[in-house]
Amino acid sequence: MTAGKARFWGACWLAYTALPVFAQDCHIALRGKIRDNDTREPLAFASVFVQEAGRGAVSDENGYFIVPNLCESATYTITVKHVECDHETRVVRLTENTLLEFYLHHSHVLKEVIVAEKAVAPAPAQASVSVSGSELASAQGVNLGETLKKLPGVSLLNTGATIAKPVIQGLHSNRIAIITNNVALEGQQWGAEHAPEIDPFTAERISVVKGAAGVRYGVGAMAGAIVLEPAELRREAGLGGWLSLGGFSNGLGGVASGALDWHLPGRSLTFRLQGTAKRSGTLRAPDYWLGNTAAAEFDLAAMAGWKTGRWTQHLTASRFTQQLGVLRAAHVGNLTDLRRAIESEVPLQNPDSFTYRIDRPYQSVQHHLLQYKTALRLSEKWKLSGQYSFQYNYRREYDVVRKTGSAAEKPQISFRLWSNTLEHFPIQHWEGGIGIQGIQQLNYVGRGGYIPDFQTYGGSVWALERWRRYPHPWEYEIGARFDYRRSDVSYAEGTFLPPGTSRDTSVHFSNASVTGGVIYHFAKYGRIALHSGYAWRPPHVYELFARGVHFSSATYEEGNRRMRPEKAWNSNLSLEWQAPRVSATLTLFRNAVQDFIYLNPSADSVLTVRGAFPVYRYRQDNAVLQGMDAGASWQVFPAWSVEGRASVLRAFRRVDDPASDKQRKEWLPLMPADRFQYGLKWQRARGKEQAGETYVRLLATTVLRQTRLPAEGLLKAAPDAFTVFSLEAAHTFRLRHKTENHPAGQTLEIGLNIQNMTNLRYREYLNFFRFFADEPGVNVGVRARWRF
């Protein structure tokens, strides 16, 4: 056995044997019992709803209930209802040993029956993980990718140190739907350097749904979805909100974010205004500065909600603006310098000082969103709802200019994208629904000609139903969807056309998606779920017609007009176990993709008027992606616990072998290496009536060297395995106790976060700029959040 294989099987054995003692924070269960206050008898079939999680449970015949997959150290508002009793609402700070008892008073006076606006929503049949509470707060000041990278099965695709996008089980970009406040994000996110235009501070909870989710979220969810859920608008009259401040040592960055909620007295009208501002300067690797890695961001969002009779209406408007520097060392002037830059251990163009200035190359992004949704409650179980959203995305990419004059002030590529989405749900049962959706996009490439102008039209119809009946332990889900997409492509006058390309052309695609799942609930400790789905994705215009330099990623890319739609059959088996001191999750998945589209690196380089760049070409082959995600925790002592996660992926394509007239397997490029996380956490609760735990967590991340590489096209050997350490700590002070108008009281949370504690020099395989520079060095972050 070779040394590489020995290391791999040793790591797998370590992950397997460590399963009983490793964990993730958002798989803690809320347990309790509901009794009659007078007789002390258990109350069966009482409903328990956790407002922040948007879901709940029903008590069994002995009054017991369990709500799984909640987050440790998070504050939850719990409402308990029974048809014969007064409702009770309680705010709790969840710890692993939390066991609640509710004593409901019988109602002796006949009161008005109020139908709740939001039913307890079933959890998805697919494997899913989530982050909220202090875990979310500790990473919100960076970006969406960094917020999610601790979750099993989620990794990052980077372009340098400033741009990151999430990867779910090896797939990214247009195969992942990003849903914010029930709106699918539409933007230029198909490139590695096109990070999602999302402010994580707008979310109170972020969930990652893994596996084919095309029926629920559309053709962009072939690999899954990232769902950002904002906090509910204020229900009590008065003012409230929060203010968060943070600072980072690497780049001397700072972030400020806050929200103000206002509910008008005596009216069902409520508002929220939320904003975020970030700025950071030149980042530093352990041994040198990373030139031109400064960044700036400003976001603003406003929400309003009102209710009149059976009508509920919401209006949301947001604006996201961001300017990101692109590593200057990745842009070189000739083929000789490109080879020297790749072979060098340090960047050839290296600044010797810190600055907040953003020079070329850089990108500037604006994203505007306007959303209106309304719902009419027809009965206790039927609701009619509709939604309209408008999105405008404006992206500019500025290359290095090697001449003077007016051209030095203009962007080399200018994108404008409009998206109009009209959704209407004619009939919606509380466990499912049917609906229609329409979409229209316009994209104008102002300069550069990397892709042509295009207009896209489309529509879909779908149906999704969930069967469940407590206390029956089985649940079933089935759904289907049909989508149509048409793109009209037009090249601007004077644009160089690839051979055989018409100046104006149209492409159109259509197909169906189906999904099915079954869930079995164990009596006390968890569930096992099997989900299988067929999903598809039409090739994007850039995959069909791209030809030229992609400046922000410093690559020369070529599309293929003969691309066919991707068709994937995805299956996953997931187990969730919640015992009093031990919790664990395990997901096994297999994704078989016909006509899988991928960006294939080549050994070629091209010299253009803009400089020298490595060549990447879009290819299409049948592929299989399979592996496992695992996580667990063990509370060794009342205040001490160990935790960990493991993600293993094997991704290969099937290609024809002319010598044997058979197909052979070849590894796919740009797939995550095996990743393991493990840590130790100490936490001390301060009591039931006080807000805060003090916790300290030491976490290590080990990434093995990626040895499953394509046979050709690798410009530089894959980086070595590495282990980086991080430290997190937080404490919450209660400044004011809970009142009727302030159910959560007033708190101040302070936190510390140290990344790459040992200042290790390393490179990530999924970083496009790993050829030119190391990852950032040690970074110390401090934060404070005041809730009022």
Which residue matches tokens 């909870």? 205
Neighbours of 689 (CB within 10 A): 10
Give the C-alpha separation, 162 to 140, whole Å.
Answer: 15
Please, is 545 exposed, middle or buried when counting C-beta atoms within 10 Å of its C-beta (0-12, 13-18, 19+)? Answer: buried
> Is 562 in a helix, a strand, or coil?
coil
Over residues 142-195, the pLDDT tens digits come to 777 777 877 777 888 887 777 788 888 888 888 888 888 888 888 766 666 677
The enclosing H or E element of 746 equals strand 746-755
The better pLDDT of the pair 751, 504 is held by: 751
Phi-psi region of 554 (alpha: psi -120 to 50; beta: other; left: phi over 0): left
Q: Could you tell me the two tokens for 670?
A: 């740009």
Asked if 649 contacts 623 with a C-beta cutoff of 8 angstroms, the reply is no
Beta bridge partners of 411: none
pLDDT tops 90 at residue 694: no
The better pLDDT of the pair 173, 488 is held by: 488
Q: What is the per-residue pLDDT for 381? A: 61
Over residues 358-376, the pLDDT tens digits come to 988 888 899 999 899 888 8
pLDDT tops 90 at residue 319: yes
Q: What is the per-residue pLDDT for 418? A: 55
Q: Could you tell me the two tokens for 118?
A: 């939001």
pLDDT tops 90 at residue 207: no
Average of per-residue pLDDT across 610-617: 78
Asked if 81 contacts 90 with a C-beta cutoff of 8 angstroms, the reply is no
pLDDT tops 70 at residue 11: no
Average of per-residue pLDDT across 67-77: 75
Which residue matches tokens 């282990």? 723
pLDDT tops 80 at residue 260: yes
The enclosing H or E element of 145 equals helix 144-148
Question: Per mean pLDDT, which range of 257-271, 317-331, 377-391 is the poorest?
Answer: 377-391
Average of per-residue pLDDT across 94-100: 69
Average of per-residue pLDDT across 689-708: 82
> Is 146 in a helix, a strand, or coil?
helix
Which residue matches tokens 């909600």? 305
Asked if 254 contacts 281 with a C-beta cutoff of 8 angstroms, the reply is no
Q: What is the per-residue pLDDT for 661? A: 72
Which residue matches tokens 């791999």? 8
Of the candidates 370, 367, 351, which has an alpha carbon nearest to the alpha carbon of residue 359? 351
Question: Per mean pLDDT, which range of 124-128, 310-314, 350-354, 679-683 is the poorest?
Answer: 124-128
Q: What is the per-residue pLDDT for 10? A: 43
For all residues of the chain together, what is the average pLDDT? Answer: 80
Alpha helices for 19-90 (secondary structure H)? none
Which residue matches tokens 């695609």? 509
Give the C-alpha separation, 549 to 393, whole Å.
Answer: 21
Give the C-alpha separation, 27 to 578, whole Å.
Answer: 8
Give the contacts of 472 (CB within 8 A, at least 6 positions apart).
none
Question: Per mean pLDDT, which range of 136-140, 191-195, 482-486, 760-764 is the poorest?
Answer: 191-195
Of the candidates 773, 783, 787, 781, which has an alpha carbon nearest to the alpha carbon of residue 293? 773
Give phi and psi for 169, each to the nearest 5: 50, 45
> Is 92 in a helix, a strand, or coil?
strand
Distance of CA 27 to the CA centre of its chain: 17
Q: Could you tell me the two tokens for 690?
A: 């006080």
pLDDT tops 50 at residue 719: yes
Average of per-residue pLDDT across 514-518: 92
pLDDT tops 80 at residue 210: yes
Please, is 510 exposed, middle or buried when counting C-beta atoms within 10 Å of its C-beta (0-12, 13-18, 19+)? Answer: middle
Complete edge-to-edge strand list for the sheet that includes strand 47-50: 55-58, 47-50, 75-81, 88-93
Give the C-alpha separation, 394 to 398, whole Å.
Answer: 13
Over residues 624-654, the pLDDT tens digits come to 999 999 999 999 988 899 999 999 999 999 8
Give the C-alpha separation, 606 to 304, whole Å.
Answer: 52
User: Which pTM was predicted?
Assistant: 0.78
> Is 503 in a helix, a strand, or coil?
coil
Beta bridge partners of 567: 536, 594
Give the C-alpha separation, 650 to 647, whole Å.
Answer: 10
Predicted confidence band of residue 474 (pLDDT cuts 50, 70, 90): confident
Q: What is the per-residue pLDDT for 16? A: 35
Beta bridge partners of 628: 588, 648
Average of per-residue pLDDT across 591-617: 82
Write out the DSSP string of 592-623.
EEEEEEEEEEEEEEEEETTEEEEEEEEEEEEE
Q: What is the per-residue pLDDT for 62? A: 72
Predicted confidence band of residue 13 (pLDDT cuts 50, 70, 90): very low
Q: What is the per-residue pLDDT for 219? A: 84
pLDDT tops 80 at residue 277: yes
Neighbours of 472 (CB within 10 A): 9
Q: What is the per-residue pLDDT for 205? A: 84
> Is 646 in a helix, a strand, or coil?
strand
> Is 505 in a helix, a strand, or coil?
strand
Give the C-alpha separation, 206 to 133, whole Å.
Answer: 10
The better pLDDT of the pair 593, 339 is held by: 593
Asked if 584 contacts 631 with a C-beta cutoff of 8 angstroms, the reply is yes
Over residues 388-417, the pLDDT tens digits come to 888 888 888 777 654 444 444 555 455 555
The better pLDDT of the pair 483, 424 is held by: 483
Predicted confidence band of residue 336 (pLDDT cuts 50, 70, 90): confident
Neighbours of 106 (CB within 10 A): 12
Predicted confidence band of residue 743 (pLDDT cuts 50, 70, 90): low
First-last CA distance in the chain: 61
Q: What is the per-residue pLDDT for 118? A: 40
Strands 779-787 and 224-229 turn out to be unpaired
Neighbours of 324 (CB within 10 A): 24
Distances (CA, A) of 266 to 25, 114, 118, 263, 738: 39, 18, 22, 9, 21
pLDDT tops 60 at residue 448: no
Strands 662-667 and 640-657 turn out to be antiparallel
Strands 474-490 and 504-521 turn out to be antiparallel
Task: Report the share of the chain in percent with pLDDT over 90.
Answer: 30
Over residues 550-588, the pLDDT tens digits come to 766 667 888 888 899 999 999 999 998 888 888 899 999
